[in-house]
């Protein structure tokens, strides 16, 4: 698993409220939702490689 780094984020109150509702709808924490949205945006923009396929288990 990749190492995680902490950092402070200043965010518009309305945006945070919308992300909190979205995260709740998808049973995620706000932090996990923000990371998910950023990862998807990076992948779609071609700035991040897709995750490797899961290893086959015998």
Distance CA 53, CA 36 (A): 18
Distance from CA of residue 50 to its chain's centroid? 14
Tell me what pLDDT residue 50 has.
74
pLDDT digits (tens, 9 = 90+) for 10-55: 999 999 999 999 999 999 999 999 999 999 999 999 998 877 788 8
Tell me what pLDDT residue 34 has.
96
| Domain ranges, ordered by start, for the chain | 13-44
- Examine the pLDDT at 2 and tell me if it is beyond 90: no
Q: What is the DSSP string of the chain?
A: -PPP--------HHHHHHHHHHHHHTT--HHHHHHHHHHHHHHHTTSSPPPPPPPP--
Tell me what pLDDT residue 33 has.
97
Distance CA 24, CA 21 (A): 5
């Amino acid at each position: 698993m990749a190492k995680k780094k902490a950092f402070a984020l200043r965010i518009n109150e309305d945006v945070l409220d919308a992300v909190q509702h979205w995260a709740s709808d998808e049973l995620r924490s706000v932090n996990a939702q923000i990371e998910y949205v950023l990862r998807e945006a990076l992948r779609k923009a071609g700035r991040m490689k897709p995750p490797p396929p899961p290893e086959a288990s015998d």
